[in-house]
Amino acid sequence: MRWPSRQRELLREMGVRLWVPAHEPVDGTQRASPAAEPAMSPLLAAASAPIALARSDPPHAESSPGIETMDWPALREAVAACTACGLCRGRTKTVFGVGNLNARWMIVGEAPGEREDLVGEPFVGKSGELLDSMLRALQLTRAKDTPARQVYIANTLKCRPPANRNPAPGELAQCEPFLVRQIELVQPAIILAMGRFAVQALLRSTEPIGRLRGREHRYQGVPLVVTYHPAYLLRNPPDKARAWDDLCFALERSQSTPA
């Protein structure tokens, strides 16, 4: 695949090193080989161990009945007022979502961190800066734009877990109906699931990200592409090239879905 110089600059900014094979002209780039998945360190393996989601009952947010028929204002209000799990006690602001309500791209992250909790918007910290530059390289943005270029971003959890700990299964189950309704309302052409909690919520899969990326999945009929979470990429810069491959793959899939 070839990328104009501006996009190559953005990729360099992201820390993605472009591999140019000997037969490619210097202005062209090629997807890095996805073949060699790095061996996982014991620490990472422990961190990516499957979480047990309590899934025998359909998800429900006890304090917000009727989520499945809510419109945007009602849904936003229900999230702001939610007390279905203990996270409501420690939150400053709920983090609902941001972007175009009719976006073609929907990005699903994990949970708000400290800055998100203060600002009330997903991905406004360091991870968000990386996410924004990755999106910019694809000419996508969270800022006001057309539905084709502006994404919608939401998290699996709408409240910050204390000290940024992992979301608990009960918290994920309580919060899930909000995300499900957001996806139904946006009706995106492509979903990008970032990180293992987004993947586990949407695909019900406990496979490591490395085994799920590089192919198309489906969520309620919508093409879904799996990639690493930006916070993981900040700690593991060499995997940025793989994440870039994933975004290019998602772009390709979104373009093959009718508008």
Interacting residue ranges for ligand URA, rule: CB under 6 A: 95, 109-113, 116, 122-123, 127, 155, 231
* Residue of 205, 114, 111 lying closest to 153 (CA atoms): 111
Considering the complex, what minimum distance in angstroms separates the CB of residue 169 from ligand URA?
Answer: 17
Q: Toward ligand URA, which CB reaches closer, 44 or 148?
A: 44
Strand, coil or helix: what is 192? strand
Burial of residue 259, with CB atoms counted within 10 A of its CB: 0-12 exposed, 13-18 middle, 19 or more buried: exposed
Considering the complex, what minimum distance in angstroms separates the CB of residue 39 from ligand URA?
Answer: 25
Q: Toward ligand URA, which CB reaches closer, 197 or 249?
A: 197
Q: Toward ligand URA, which CB reaches closer, 113 or 188?
A: 113
Considering the complex, what minimum distance in angstroms separates the CB of residue 198 from ligand URA?
Answer: 7
* Tokens, residue 222: 């919508």
Q: Are 140 and 17 in contact (CB under 8 A)?
A: no
Considering the complex, what minimum distance in angstroms separates the CB of residue 105 from ligand URA?
Answer: 16
Q: Toward ligand URA, which CB reaches closer, 64 or 127?
A: 127
* Residue of 3, 247, 19, 35 lying closest to 135 (CA atoms): 247
What is the number of helices (H) and of strands (E) in the chain? Answer: 10, 6
Q: Toward ligand URA, which CB reaches closer, 116 or 245?
A: 116
What residue spans of 63-168 are helical by DSSP H? 72-81, 114-119, 126-137
Considering the complex, what minimum distance in angstroms separates the CB of residue 125 from ligand URA?
Answer: 6
Burial of residue 166, with CB atoms counted within 10 A of its CB: 0-12 exposed, 13-18 middle, 19 or more buried: middle
d(CA 33, CA 183): 32
Q: Toward ligand URA, which CB reaches closer, 29 or 240?
A: 240
Q: How many CA atoms lie within 13 A of 167 on its CB side?
A: 31
Strand, coil or helix: what is 154? strand
Q: Toward ligand URA, which CB reaches closer, 20 or 80?
A: 80
Question: Cα 65 from chain centroid?
Answer: 26
Considering the complex, what minimum distance in angstroms separates the CB of residue 229 from ligand URA?
Answer: 6
**Phi, psi (deg, nearest 5) at residue 8:** -65, -35
Considering the complex, what minimum distance in angstroms separates the CB of residue 235 from ligand URA?
Answer: 13
